[in-house]
C-alpha cells in the first residue's frame, strides 16, 4: 500500500508538490487566523523550500525517481547513436529470440512433463544388452506374457502399464470408405485411470476392457483427432471403426491436451491392448512397459530394490521360457540372458524423436547460446567505448557527489533498455522460428507434432535470459565507469589504453566462439553433403512406390496380375514388386547357416523381390542372373557382395547354397549384386540377400501375401502424376488389394537425411550470423582504437614512420588477438565435436579441411574488418594532429 502510494507519488511529482504546498499554506492561514504573527509563523516553518523538499522525499520513492531519470537518460543516449543502437538491438533480438526458440523446442520435446497426474512417478522399463555387432542395445518393448508376470510380481509397490508405439495404421470408417491413416496405440486398460485422465466425451478405457483377446472391441479417440477429423461431433460415439477385419466401437474421447506418451507423435486412436491382433502370438506382441509408483512408495529409496526384484522376475521368466530360444545359437542365448533391466524416467514421455534429436537440440542450444554471447560481447564493447568517451562526464558526476551506485545504475538502465527492446523483437522471432524449425522435421509419413505452449516455463526462461543479458552487457562497463578517478579523468590523463585491453580480450573471446560455431557448422554441412552424395548403387529417379495391402492375404499370382495390369498403363515404363521398399521403415533379418552348420553369429537382411526388380531399380546383376518367373522362395536367392564375402570368402558364390537356420529349406545363389543401402544411408554395407516374391510352403503350395510394394518406373519426370490413376486402377480390379500408401523412392531417400539437413541448415545460418557479428565487432574496436591513437599515429608519421610501419602497429594487435581467439576456438571445437560425433557422417573433427575452412573464413573477415581502420590510420594528417595538440 505504502510502496504503491510512493510509486504513484513519484510518477505524479507535480501534483504531490501542489498538495504539500496547499497543506502548508492552510496551516499558515490557520495560525494567522488564531492571532499569531504572520512573520513568526513563516519563520517557524524555516525555509519553505527545504520543508517542501523534505516532505516530498518522504512521500516518494527516491530510487524510483532516479531510476526514471536514468532510463530517460539512457534512452537519449541510445537515440544519439541510432545506427549503433539499432544494430545492437537487432543482434541481441536475434540472439535472445534464437535462445528462446531453442528452449521452446528442447523443453517441449525433452523436458515438459506429460499432462497427466503423477508424471514424476512414471518410469519406463528397458532391457540393455550387447547387440550382435557388439554395440549396446537398449529396448523398452516387452512381450505380453513377460509383462503380465512382472505386473503381478510388483503389484503392491507399482502399477505396470503397457502402451504400444503409435503406429500409422490403415483404418476405414465404413467398409466401403477409402482407407485412411491414423496413429493407433494399444494401451492397457489401467492407463487412463492411473494417469488421472477424464473423458471429454463418453467414457475412457478401464481395466475391465482388458479381459481377454477379442472381448472388448472398443476405441477411444484423442481430442485432437476428434477435433480435426470429426469437427467435435458428439454423434461420433457408437460409430464403428475398422482395422483389417476387426471392428471397434467408439466409446469416448480423451481429454483435450493428452496426445499419448510418444512425444512428437499425436496418438489418434487408443485401443485395448488385448485387442491387438498379434496378442495371441505371444512372442510377437511387444509393448512399451511403463511403471507408475504407488503413492506411498518413495522413489529415492524403494526404486533400486524394485528394479532388482523385477530384474530377477524377468530373468526367471526368460530361463523358464521354452520357446524363446528355439533356433538360437548358444552365443545369442548368452547374449540375450546377459541383459540388465533399467528404469528410465518417463514423465516427459518416450519417443524415437527424443532419441534422434536429443543431440541435435543440444547442438542447437550451444549454437544459439554462442551467438547470443557474441552479440552481447559486441554490444558490451560498444557500451565500453561509449563509457570511455564519457569518462569525463562520469568524473564530473562523481566530483559533484553522485554515488558510484548511482553511476552503475545509470549504465545498467541503458543496458536494460537495450535488452528489453531486443526481447520484444526476440519474442516475436521466437514465436515464429520455433514452429518453423519443428515443421522442418517432416517425414511425409510422420511429421513431428509437438505442442509449443508459451507458458510460464518459457516466460521464466525468457526473463532469466534478459537478466543475464543485462548483466553481461552492463556490468563491465558500469564497473569501469564507476571506477573512474575523477582527478585523472578531468585532467584528461586517464590511461587511454585500459579500455582497449578489455575490448581486445572481448574480441578474442568473440573470435573463439565464432570459430567454434564455424567449426561445428563446417562439420555438419560436410556430413550432410557426403551423406547426400553417397553413391547409392540404385537409381531413385522416376520411381513411384505404391504400398498395397490385402487384408485377407492374396496369392502371388493375384499380385503378379495386378503388376501386369499396371504395366499396360501409358506412361509406365516398368513395374516390379518387392516386399517393402529399400530405405523404408521395414527391415527384417534372418540368421544364416551354411550347409547345415549352426547359424552364423552375424545375421543377414533380406527382401522379397519379383523378377525385373533389379532392372527397375537399376541395380546391376554383376554375376549370374536375375530371378525368373518360375523361381520361388525357398529356392533361389540373389546376394549382395558383402553377403558373398562374409559367407563364402574367396569362393565363387554362384551355385552355393545356404539355409535360414539349421534344418531349414535351402536357397541356391543364382546371382550377385553390388551393395546398396538397405535400411539406413549411414550404416556401412551389411550382408543382404534377395529371395523371389513368390513364396511356397513346405508342400510346395503358394503362400498368400498380406502386403507388398509395387515399384513403378514412370516415363514422366514426376512419378506422382500417375499416382491417383494407378491407385484407382488397383481399386477397380476388386481383387482384395488396396493401396495404403503412396510415396516415391526419392522421398524415402530424403527422409533419411532430414536430421542432417536440418542441423546443416541451422548451423550455416548461425555461422553466417556469428561471422557477421564478429566482423562488425572487430571493425568497431579497431576503428575506436585508431581514433584513440590518432595523436600517436600522427607523431609517428611526423618522425618518419613508413606506411608499412603504421599498418603494422594498427593491425598487429588485432591479428594477435584473432590468432589467440582462434586457438581457443580449436580447443573448444575439439571438445564439442566429441559430444556430437554420432551426428557426423564420414567426417572427423581432426580432418585438416574441417579446420582450414573456418580459419580461412575468420581470416578473410578479419582482413575485411581491419581495412577501414587501416585506411583511416593512413589517412591521418600529421600536421593537423600536431597543430591541434
Partner 1 sequence: MAKTDALQGSLDLLVLKILSRRPRLHGYAIMTAIADTSGEVLRAEEGSLYPALYRMEEAGWIRAEWIKKDTGRRARVYELTAAGRKQLGAEESRWQSVSMAINRVLREA
- Number of alpha helices (DSSP H) and beta strands (DSSP E) in the chain: 27, 24
Q: What's the rounded Cα separation, in Å, for the pair 574 and 186?
A: 40
- Strand (E) positions, 157-235? 158-163, 167-171, 180-187, 201-202, 218-221
Q: Between residues 53 and 877, which has the closer beta carbon with respect to partner 1?
A: 53
Q: Could you give the CA distance from residue 828 to residue 192 in angstroms, rounded to a whole number?
A: 48
DSSP 179: P
Cβ-contact 814, 866 below 8 angstroms: yes
Give the nearer residue to partner 1 in terms of CB position, either 60 or 745. Answer: 60
- Using CB under 8 A as the binding rule, the residues of this chain from 226 to 265 that contact partner 1 are none
CB of 47 vs partner 1, minimal distance in Å: 8
Q: Which residue has the cell 523443453?
A: 107
Output the smallest distance, CB 20 to partner 1, in A: 8
Burial class of residue 123 in the structure, from the number of CB atoms within 10 Å of its CB (0-12 exposed, 13-18 middle, 19+ buried): buried
Contact track, partner 1, 45-74, x by CB under 8 A: xx---xx--xx--xx---------------
Site size for partner 1 (CB under 8 A): 25
Provide, rounded to whole angstroms, the least separation between the CB of residue 67 and partner 1.
18
Least CB distance to partner 1 at residue 206 (A): 57
Strand partners, 679: none
Using the minimum distance from each CB to partner 1, give the nearer residue, 46 or 212.
Answer: 46
Crossing angle of the two packed helices 456-482 and 352-389, in degrees rounded to 10:
30
Given the rule CB under 8 A, which of 37-45, 407-415, 435-443, 734-742 is the region that contacts partner 1? Answer: 37-45
Give the nearer residue to partner 1 in terms of CB position, either 48 or 597. 48
The binder of partner 1 chosen from 1, 568, 799, 848 (CB under 8 A): 1
CA neighbor of 641 nearest in space, from 696, 693, 706, 685: 685
Strand segments (E) across 254-304: 269-272, 286-293
Identify any residues that bridge with 671 across adjacent strands, giving them in sequence order.
624, 638
- The Cα 436–Cα 439 span in angstroms is 5
Q: How far is the CB of 24 from partner 1 (least distance, A)?
A: 7
Q: Kindly state the smallest distance separating residue 49's Cβ from partner 1, in Å.
A: 12
Binding pattern to partner 1, positions 16-35, x when CB under 8 A? ---xx-xxx-xx-xxx--x-
Distance CA 237, CA 229 (A): 14
- From 41-49, 153-161, 258-266, 515-523, span contacting partner 1 (CB under 8 A): 41-49
Residue 544: name the closest of 668, 284, 719, 416 by CA: 719
Q: What distance in Å separates the CA atoms of residue 398 and residue 405, rounded to the nearest whole number? A: 11
**CA 172/CA 184 separation, integer angstroms:** 13
Q: Residue 46 or 214: which CB sits closer to partner 1?
A: 46
Min separation Cβ 432 and partner 1, Å = 47
Nearest to 341 by CA among 124, 123, 125: 125
User: Which conformational region is residue 772 in: left (phi greater than 0), alpha (psi within -120 to 50 degrees), or beta?
Assistant: alpha
**All cell numbers assigned to 863:** 582482413
Task: For partner 1, give the closer residue by CB, 2 or 175.
Answer: 2
Q: Which is nearer to partner 1, 13 or 213 (CB)?
A: 13
**Does residue 713 touch partner 1 according to CB under 8 A?**
no
Judged by CB under 8 A, which of 7, 11, 13, 41 binds partner 1?
A: 41
SS3 95: helix
Smallest gap from Cβ 13 to partner 1, in A, equals 15
Element (H, E) at 740: strand 738-744
Q: Judging by beta carbons within 10 Å of its beta carbon (0-12, 13-18, 19+), is residue 415 exposed, middle or buried?
A: buried
Q: What value, to the nearest 5°, has the Cα angle with vertex 221 and ends 220 and 222? A: 120
Cα 210 to Cα 273: distance, rounded to the nearest angstrom? 7
Q: 227-266: string of b/e by CB count within 10 Å (b at 16+)? A: eebbeeeeebeeeebbbeeeebebbbbbbeebbbbbbbbb
Whole-number minimum distance, CB 37 to partner 1, in Å? 14
CA distance 777 to 799: 32
Q: Which of 6, 151, 542, 713 binds partner 1 (CB under 8 A)?
A: 6
Minimum distance from CB of 53 to partner 1 (Å)?
A: 10
Nearest residue (CB) to partner 1, 59 versus 307: 59
Q: How far is the CB of 38 from partner 1 (least distance, A)?
A: 13
Specify the residue, 1 or 300, whose C-beta has the smaller distance to partner 1: 1
CB of 403 to partner 1, least distance (A): 23
Instruction: Compute the distance between CA of residue 170 and CA of residue 741 in angstroms, rounded to an integer.
Output: 9
Nearest-approach distance from CB 124 to partner 1, in angstroms: 56
- Taking the least distance from each CB to partner 1, the nearer of 35 and 535 is 35
- Rounded (10°) CA dihedral 535, 536, 538, 541: -90
Residue 744 and residue 750: Cα distance in Å, rounded? 10
**Shortest Cβ 18–partner 1 spacing (Å):** 11
Please identify, using beta-carbon distances, which residue of 58 and 451 lies nearer to partner 1.
58
Judged by CB, which is closer to partner 1: 24, or 424?
Answer: 24
* Beta carbon nearer to partner 1, 31 or 602: 31
Residue span binding partner 1 (CB under 8 A) among the ranges 38-46, 190-198, 417-425, 622-630 = 38-46
Comparing CB distances to partner 1, the nearer of 5 and 308 is: 5
Nearest to 106 by CA among 370, 586, 338, 430: 430
Q: Residue 2 or 846: which CB sits closer to partner 1?
A: 2
Q: Whole-number minimum distance, CB 774 to partner 1, in Å?
A: 52
Q: Choose, by CB under 8 A, the member of 12, 15, 38, 44 that binds partner 1.
A: 44
Q: Cα separation of 9 and 90, whole Å?
A: 36
Shortest distance in whole angstroms from residue 56 CB to partner 1: 9
CB of 71 to partner 1, least distance (A): 24
Q: Which of residues 409-448 bind partner 1 (CB under 8 A)?
A: none
Nearer to partner 1 by C-beta: 42 or 842? 42
Stretch that binds partner 1, among 1-9, 319-327, 439-447, 500-508 (CB under 8 A): 1-9
| CA 197/CA 194 separation, integer angstroms | 8
CB of 653 within 8 A of CB of 639? yes
Whichever of 50 and 358 has its CB closer to partner 1, that residue is 50
Least separation in angstroms between residue 199's CB and partner 1 is 51
118: helix, coil or strand?
A: coil
Binding track over 288-327 against partner 1, x by CB under 8 A: ----------------------------------------
Please state the length of the chain: 885
Ranges within 262-281 binding partner 1 (CB under 8 A): none
19 or 138: whose CB is closer to partner 1? 19
Of 533, 528, 524, the residue nearest 854 (C-alpha): 524
| Nearest Cα residue to 89 out of 312, 551, 414, 463 | 414
Residues at the contact surface with partner 1, assessed by CB under 8 A = 1-2, 5-6, 19-20, 22-24, 26-27, 29-31, 34, 41, 44-46, 50-51, 54-55, 58-59
Amino acid at each position: 500500500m505504502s510502496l504503491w502510494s510512493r510509486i504513484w507519488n513519484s510518477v505524479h511529482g507535480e501534483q504531490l508538490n501542489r498538495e504539500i504546498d496547499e497543506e502548508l499554506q492552510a496551516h499558515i492561514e490557520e495560525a494567522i487566523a488564531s492571532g499569531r504573527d504572520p512573520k513568526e509563523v513563516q519563520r517557524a516553518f524555516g525555509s519553505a523550500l527545504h520543508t517542501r523538499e523534505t516532505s516530498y522525499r518522504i512521500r516518494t520513492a527516491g530510487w524510483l525517481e532516479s531510476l526514471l531519470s536514468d532510463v530517460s537518460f539512457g534512452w537519449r543516449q541510445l537515440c544519439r547513436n541510432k545506427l549503433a543502437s539499432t544494430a545492437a538491438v537487432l543482434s541481441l533480438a536475434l540472439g535472445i529470440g534464437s535462445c528462446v526458440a531453442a528452449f521452446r523446442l528442447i523443453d517441449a520435446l525433452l523436458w515438459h512433463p506429460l499432462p497427466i497426474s503423477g508424471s514424476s512417478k512414471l518410469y519406463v522399463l528397458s532391457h540393455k544388452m550387447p547387440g550382435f555387432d557388439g554395440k549396446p542395445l537398449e529396448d523398452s518393448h516387452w512381450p505380453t506374457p513377460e509383462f503380465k508376470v512382472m505386473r503381478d510380481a510388483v503389484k503392491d509397490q507399482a502399477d505396470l502399464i503397457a502402451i504400444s508405439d503409435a503406429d500409422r495404421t490403415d483404418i476405414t470408417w465404413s467398409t466401403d470408405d477409402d482407407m485412411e491413416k491414423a496413429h493407433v496405440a494399444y494401451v492397457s486398460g489401467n492407463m487412463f485411470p492411473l494417469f488421472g485422465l477424464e473423458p471429454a466425451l463418453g467414457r475412457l478405457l478401464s481395466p475391465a476392457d482388458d479381459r481377454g483377446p477379442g472381448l472388448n472391441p472398443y476405441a477411444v479417440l484423442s481430442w485432437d483427432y476428434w477435433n480435426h477429423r470429426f469437427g467435435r461431433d458428439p454423434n461420433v460415439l457408437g460409430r464403428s471403426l475398422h482395422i483389417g477385419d476387426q471392428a471397434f466401437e467408439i466409446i469416448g474421447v480423451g481429454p483435450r491436451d493428452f496426445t499419448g506418451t510418444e512425444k512428437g507423435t499425436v496418438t489418434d486412436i487408443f485401443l485395448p491392448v488385448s485387442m491387438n491382433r498379434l496378442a495371441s502370438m505371444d512372442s510377437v506382441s511387444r509393448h512399451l512397459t511403463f511403471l507408475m509408483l504407488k503413492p506411498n512408495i518413495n522413489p529415492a529409496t524403494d526404486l533400486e530394490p524394485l528394479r532388482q526384484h523385477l530384474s530377477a522376475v524377468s530373468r526367471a521368466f526368460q530361463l523358464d521360457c521354452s520357446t524363446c530360444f528355439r533356433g538360437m545359437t548358444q552365443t545369442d542365448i548368452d547374449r540375450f540372458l546377459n541383459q540388465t533391466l533399467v528404469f528410465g524416467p518417463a514423465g516427459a514421455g518416450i519417443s524415437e524423436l527424443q532419441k534422434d534429436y536429443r543431440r541435435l537440440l543440444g547442438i542447437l542450444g550451444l549454437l544459439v547460446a554462442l551467438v547470443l554471447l557474441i552479440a552481447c560481447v559486441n554490444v558490451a564493447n560498444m557500451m565500453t567505448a561509449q563509457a570511455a568517451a564519457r569518462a569525463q562526464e562520469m568524473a564530473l558526476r562523481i566530483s559533484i557527489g553522485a554515488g558510484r551506485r548511482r553511476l552503475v545504475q545509470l549504465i545498467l538502465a541503458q543496458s536494460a533498455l537495450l535488452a528489453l527492446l531486443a526481447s520484444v523483437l526476440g519474442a516475436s522471432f521466437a514465436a515464429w522460428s520455433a514452429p518453423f524449425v519443428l515443421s522442418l522435421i517432416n517425414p511425409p509419413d510422420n511429421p513431428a507434432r509437438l505442442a509449443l505452449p508459451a507458458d510460464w516455463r518459457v516466460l521464466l526462461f525468457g526473463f532469466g535470459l534478459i537478466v543475464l543479458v543485462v548483466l553481461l552487457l552492463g556490468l563491465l562497463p558500469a564497473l569501469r565507469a564507476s571506477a573512474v578517478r575523477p582527478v585523472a579523468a578531468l585532467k584528461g590523463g586517464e590511461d587511454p589504453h585500459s579500455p582497449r585491453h578489455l575490448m581486445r580480450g572481448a574480441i578474442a573471446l568473440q573470435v573463439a566462439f565464432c570459430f567454434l560455431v564455424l567449426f561445428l557448422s563446417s562439420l555438419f554441412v560436410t556430413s550432410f553433403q557426403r551423406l547426400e552424395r553417397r553413391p547409392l548403387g540404385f537409381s531413385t529417379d522416376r520411381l513411384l512406390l505404391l504400398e498395397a495391402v490385402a487384408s485377407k492375404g492374396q496369392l502371388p499370382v493375384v499380385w503378379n496380375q495386378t503388376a501386369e495390369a499396371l504395366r499396360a498403363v501409358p506412361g509406365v515404363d516398368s513395374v516390379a514388386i518387392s516386399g517393402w521398399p529399400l530405405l523404408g521403415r521395414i527391415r527384417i533379418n534372418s540368421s544364416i547357416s551354411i550347409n547345415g552348420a549352426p547359424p552364423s553369429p552375424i545375421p543377414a537382411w533380406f527382401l522379397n523381390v519379383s523378377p525385373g526388380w533389379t532392372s527397375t531399380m537399376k541395380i546391376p546383376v554383376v554375376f549370374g542372373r536375375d530371378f525368373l518367373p518360375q523361381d520361388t522362395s525357398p529356392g533361389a536367392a540373389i546376394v549382395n557382395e558383402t553377403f558373398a564375402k562374409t559367407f563364402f570368402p574367396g569362393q565363387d558364390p554362384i551355385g552355393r547354397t545356404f539355409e535360414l537356420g539349421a534344418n531349414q529349406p535351402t536357397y541356391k545363389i543364382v546371382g550377385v549384386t553390388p551393395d546398396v543401402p538397405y535400411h539406413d544411408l549411414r550404416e556401412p554395407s551389411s550382408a543382404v540377400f534377395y529371395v523371389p516374391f513368390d513364396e511356397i510352403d513346405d508342400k510346395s503350395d503358394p503362400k498368400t501375401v498380406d502386403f507388398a510394394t509395387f515399384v513403378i518406373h514412370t516415363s514422366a519426370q514426376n512419378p506422382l502424376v500417375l499416382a491417383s490413376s494407378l491407385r484407382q486402377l488397383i481399386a477397380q480390379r476388386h481383387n482384395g488389394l488396396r493401396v495404403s500408401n503412396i510415396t516415391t523412392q526419392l522421398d524415402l531417400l530424403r527422409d533419411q537425411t532430414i536430421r542432417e539437413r536440418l542441423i546443416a541448415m541451422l548451423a550455416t545460418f548461425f555461422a553466417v550470423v556469428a561471422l557477421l557479428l564478429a566482423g562488425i565487432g572487430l571493425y568497431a574496436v579497431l576503428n575506436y582504437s585508431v581514433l584513440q591513437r590518432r595523436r600517436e599515429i600522427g607523431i609517428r608519421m611526423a618522425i618518419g614512420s613508413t606506411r608499412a610501419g603504421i599498418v603494422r602497429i594498427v593491425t598487429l594487435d588485432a591479428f594477435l588477438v584473432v590468432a589467440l581467439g582462434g586457438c581457443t576456438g580449436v580447443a573448444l571445437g575439439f571438445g564439442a565435436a566429441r559430444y556430437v560425433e554420432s551426428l557426423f557422417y564420414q567426417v572427423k573433427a581432426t580432418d585438416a579441411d574441417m579446420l582450414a575452412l573456418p580459419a580461412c573464413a575468420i581470416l578473410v573477415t578479419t582482413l575485411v574488418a581491419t581495412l577501414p581502420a587501416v585506411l583511416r590510420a593512413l589517412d591521418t594528417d600529421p600536421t593537423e594532429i600536431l597543430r591541434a595538440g
